[in-house]
Every structure is written in C-alpha cells, then in structure tokens.
Amino acid sequence: ADTEGLLLEIADAVISCKKDAVLAAVEKAKKVMEPAEIIDKGLSAGMNQVGILFERGKLFLPHVMMAADAMTAGVKVLEAELPAGTESKKLGVIVNGTVEGDVHDIGKSIVSTMLQSSGFEVYDLGRDVPTRNFVEKAKAVNADIIGISALMTTTLQGQRDVIELLKEEGLRGKVKVMVGGAPATQSWADKIGADCYAENASEAVAKAKEML
C-alpha cells in the first residue's frame, strides 16, 4: 500500500472526526508502517491541522473535542502494538506531565507511551499538575529527566517555574529537563535553561536517550 496515501487518509479521518474511518485506516497502515510513524505523521498531523483550522475560526471547540476523540481511539489501537517496556532494559526514569492550569494532555500522553515502550520507566503525572508535584515526584522516584508539556502561551511559564523550583531545591544538577508542546520552541528552552526541546514524540525519545 502507498504509505503517504494511508497517512493522509488517517489525517483526513481525524480532521472530519470519523472515528470508524480512523480505526479502519489505522488497521491498514499498521500492516506496512511502524506505530510511531502512524502516530506522528498520520494522527498527530491530522490533529495539528484541526488546531490550525480552530485558530483561523474555521471550526469550533466541539469539533476539536470530537477530532481529539477520534485521534485518541487511533492512538489506543497503536499503543497495543508498541513493545512493552521491560524492567531489564530500563534506560532511565522520567517524570512527565502537563503544567498547572493546562488541561491539554493528548500529546503529553503520546510522549509518555512512546518513552515507556522505548524502555524508560515513566511516571505520568497527568494534566494541570502543580509545579511542586513535578519536583516532589522527581525526588521520590529519583528521576533522571522531567518532561514538561504546556500547550498554551498562558501556561508556558509553568515550564520555567518547574526549573526554578528544581534550582531552589538544589536538584537542577541532578535532573535533566525536557520541554514540549505547541508554544514551546528551542529558543524558549534555551531562555529558561531547559536541557532540551522536543517537537514530537519520536524526538522526545531520541533526545531523552541522548541526555542519559
């Protein structure tokens, strides 16, 4: 099958909120592609398009929620295909979450799943996570890395707050920080002193491995 065509079919099904069509196309795609590629280049690509249309006022919040639902159904199917991270090949410990005041968790959850299936021990704190919880959890599980997601310009500051609290607690030298989410960029990461910025889940896995 034509992989480009299948990825487009998946993205289109997400944009039009057709869960059944998403599932059917994912079934076809998983025979010829890696789950990570289908998530990044099919499902996420569709959701990004939904974001652009929403920003332009071409579609409204209920549509975004339905598209997110269709996308999540596709991700669930693919998660089952990802290799289960095993204790024996534990690469490192990561605490991952979405900053306080921010309920966007689709991308953050994909990142957690991909990290886990790549062999990391992942503690996903969920969404709307108070700054202190990131730091306390990292301490409790002796984390190597904290991943911080923020999807809004109004909550992006939360990433800097976590870094500042790590410094106050004397942990900054011990724990690496990865930031992600639509408004985050490499230059933002540099500005707040994060160790890396990851644009998508595949990059998050690659950069997390580099930081160990």
In angstroms, the Cα distances linking 110 to 5, 40, 92, 116, 192 are 23, 9, 18, 10, 24
Q: Can residue 198 be called a binding residue for ligand HCB (CB under 6 A)?
A: yes
Whose CB is nearest to ligand HCB?
A: 107
For residues 2 and 93, which CB has a smaller minimum distance to ligand HCB in the complex?
93
Choose one: 8-16, 19-27, 83-91, 148-156; the region binding ligand HCB (CB under 6 A): 148-156
One residue of 149, 159, 160, 194 binding ligand HCB per CB under 6 A: 149
118 binds ligand HCB (CB under 6 A): no
- Shortest Å distance, C-beta 143 to ligand HCB: 12
Binding flag, residue 64, ligand HCB (CB under 6 A): yes
Which region, judged by CB under 6 A, interacts with ligand HCB, from 1-9, 51-59, 131-139, 160-168?
A: 51-59
List, as one string, the DSSP characters of 155-192: TTHHHHHHHHHHHHTT-TTT-EEEEESTT--HHHHHHH
C-alpha span between 188 and 110 (Å, rounded): 22
Location of structure tokens 């919880």: 133
| Cα 38 from Cα 29, distance rounded (Å) | 7
- Considering only 152, 165, 171, 211, the residue that binds ligand HCB (CB under 6 A) is 152
DSSP calls for 61-72: HHHHHHHHHHHH
Q: Which of 125, 151, 189, 192 binds ligand HCB (CB under 6 A)?
A: 151
DSSP string for residues in 69-85: HHHHHHHHHHHTTSPPP
Separation between Cα atoms, residue 122 and residue 128, nearest integer Å? 18
The footprint of ligand HCB on this chain (CB under 6 A) covers a number of residues equal to: 38
Residues in 88-107 that interact with ligand HCB by CB under 6 A: 96, 101-107
- Three-state DSSP class for residue 123: strand
Q: Would you tell me which residues interact with ligand HCB (CB under 6 A)? A: 40, 44, 47, 50-51, 54-55, 61, 64-65, 68, 96, 101-108, 110-111, 147-149, 151-154, 178, 180-183, 198, 200-201, 204
